[in-house]
């Protein structure tokens, strides 16, 4: 009987492994019909999450003014849940998918490469005419290697350093003097000495956001333009040298998860938080009584006069090929991403930053924000957009993300040598992804 048991277990395991591997196969698409031209009409379903879904909801009325015969149903689904459902739907050949899905920019390449035929080619539907309305960074994530749009660019996450004006004042540090990361570390030392406050919150073992911003700022990323593993680059070393130095000077507050970072922010445990523009909303929501105590400056550069622009976050819209109402789906995507009105609603009411260039001329960007010490913070972020370097996220983004968070922990917590740690990380990625290590 024991023999029987082991045979069955073996069969079960093999079957399990096999079916896990074949999961990505079926890219077969249906529903090519029903997209003959004409006025958009009928109902479409849209998936998004949280404030992004709410922004889409806000756009529905304006959209219906242009096309009275349409109905838009927005489903508000958790961010990671959207990916779960999208992956299952795409893997089963487009079953049960909606007409429009929101996807974060750094995850787009993953879907585009794994299911090449499953996303509608927007260029074929006429999106190319909007090409000059977006910055180079946004185009690089939404176009495939042939220069065709497979996603429509929507929001973007220009980065900045959010800082506590009162803490800086108490320590006698002028944020305008912080031009390079060396200045930043010096300022941090002064602040720690005078006020006892840490400089920056980092979720060391689970999130390498600071490292990613520094890579992007220098025009590098996990992978180079050819998709080769690039974590051993000069830029990568420089980034970790800064982070390690911050850690050595005890300026980093190690937080557990997103909640930890938020709680450190609102409790004044840190003097600065480098993040994407979307963090403005978080601060204003979670620390409503700290109005006037916050300000923003751009990421410090690596050398005097160097680039201070980077991106963190942002998302775009795709139309699954399985949609049986592509015409209306496209009309909605076009309206939602290229008209100024829905962009401004999303920004003013939900704090979501548009990537559509023409929006930056709106009055709103010249307004002073009372919460942020009357600084014109949105102008600062808008001016940054055109300087954001291109990043190649590739389909193996999340593997690199996990690996580099581990690497960050081994450097900061176990004191591993940077050079060795990055070399090990590159080797690990090489074995996981079959990609070459960049020379």
Binding footprint of another protein on the chain (CB under 8 A): 1, 4-5, 8-9, 11-13, 15-16, 19-20, 23, 45, 49-52, 73, 75-79, 81, 84-85, 88-89, 91-93, 95-96, 98, 262-263, 266-267, 278-279, 281-282, 285-289, 313, 351
Rounded CA-CA distance 151/156 in Å is: 14
Rounded CA-CA distance 200/203 in Å is: 10
Rounded CA-CA distance 160/309 in Å is: 8
**Nearest approach, Cβ of 174 to another protein (angstroms)?**
28
Nearest to another protein of 89, 227 (CB atom): 89
Nearest to another protein of 90, 404 (CB atom): 90
Rounded CA-CA distance 21/391 in Å is: 29
State the Cα angle at 409 between 404 and 410, rounded to 5°: 95
Pair of tokens at residue 241: 């040298």
DSSP 135: -
Largest Cα–Cα distance in the chain?
79
**Nearest approach, Cβ of 84 to another protein (angstroms)?**
6
Nearest to another protein of 238, 350 (CB atom): 350
**Nearest approach, Cβ of 255 to another protein (angstroms)?**
12
- By the 8 A CB rule, do 254 and 202 touch? yes
- CA nearest neighbour of 403 among 220, 218, 205: 205
**Nearest approach, Cβ of 201 to another protein (angstroms)?**
13
Nearest to another protein of 216, 247 (CB atom): 216
Strand pairing class (152-164; 272-276): antiparallel
Nearest to another protein of 197, 218 (CB atom): 197
Nearest to another protein of 75, 249 (CB atom): 75
Neighbours of 11 (CB within 10 A): 10
Nearest to another protein of 128, 402 (CB atom): 402
Rounded CA-CA distance 47/257 in Å is: 26
**Nearest approach, Cβ of 7 to another protein (angstroms)?**
9
**Nearest approach, Cβ of 194 to another protein (angstroms)?**
20
DSSP 320: B
Nearest to another protein of 103, 242 (CB atom): 103
Distances in Å between the Cα of 95 and the Cα atoms of 2, 92, 244, 315 are 42, 6, 47, 23
**Nearest approach, Cβ of 311 to another protein (angstroms)?**
14
Q: What are phi and psi of 119, to 5 degrees?
A: -110, 135
**Nearest approach, Cβ of 288 to another protein (angstroms)?**
6
Residue 123 DSSP SS3: helix
- By the 8 A CB rule, do 75 and 82 touch? no
């Amino acid at each position: 009987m024991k023999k029987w048991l082991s045979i069955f277990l073996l069969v079960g395991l093999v079957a399990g492994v096999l079916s896990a591997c074949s999961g990505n196969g079926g890219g077969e698409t249906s529903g090519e019909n029903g997209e003959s031209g004409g006025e958009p009409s009928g109902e479409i379903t849209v998936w998004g999450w949280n404030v992004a879904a709410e922004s889409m909801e806000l756009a529905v009325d304006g959209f219906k003014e242009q096309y009275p015969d349409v109905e838009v149903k927005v489903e508000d689904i958790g961010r990671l849940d959207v990916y779960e459902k999208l992956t299952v739907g795409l893997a089963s050949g487009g079953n049960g998918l909606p007409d429009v899905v929101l996807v974060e920019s750094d995850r787009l390449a993953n879907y585009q490469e794994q299911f090449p035929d499953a996303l509608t080619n927007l260029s074929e539907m006429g999106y190319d005419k909007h090409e000059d309305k977006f910055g180079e960074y946004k185009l690089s994530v939404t176009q495939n290697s042939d220069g065709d749009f497979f996603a429509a660019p929507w929001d973007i996450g220009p980065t900045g350093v959010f800082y506590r004006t009162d803490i800086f004042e108490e320590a006698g540090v002028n944020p305008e003097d912080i031009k390079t990361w060396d200045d930043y570390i010096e300022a941090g030392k002064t602040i720690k000495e005078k006020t006892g406050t840490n400089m920056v919150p980092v979720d060391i073992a689970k999130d390498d956001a600071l490292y990613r911003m520094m890579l992007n700022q220098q025009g590098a990323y996990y992978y180079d333009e050819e998709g080769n593993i690039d974590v051993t680059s000069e830029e990568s070393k420089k980034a970790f040298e800064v982070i390690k130095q911050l850690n050595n000077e005890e300026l980093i507050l190690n937080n557990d998860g997103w909640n930890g970072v938020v709680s450190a922010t609102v409790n004044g445990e840190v003097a600065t938080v480098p993040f994407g523009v979307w963090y403005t909303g978080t601060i204003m929501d979670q620390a409503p009584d700290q109005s006037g105590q916050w300000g923003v400056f751009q990421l410090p550069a690596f050398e005097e006069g160097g680039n201070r622009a980077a991106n963190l976050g942002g998302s775009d819209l795709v139309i699954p090929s399985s949609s049986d109402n592509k015409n209306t789906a496209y009309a909605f995507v076009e309206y939602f991403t290229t008209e100024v009105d829905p962009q401004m609603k999303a920004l003013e009411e939900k704090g979501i930053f548009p990537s559509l260039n023409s929006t930056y001329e709106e009055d709103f960007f010249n307004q002073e924000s009372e919460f942020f010490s009357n600084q014109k913070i949105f102008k600062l972020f808008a001016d940054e957009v055109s300087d954001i370097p291109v990043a190649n996220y590739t389909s193996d983004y999340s593997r690199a993300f996990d690996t580099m968070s581990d690497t960050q922990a081994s450097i900061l917590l176990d004191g591993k040598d940077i050079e060795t740690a990055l070399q090990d990380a590159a080797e690990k990625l090489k074995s996981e992804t079959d990609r070459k290590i960049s020379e």
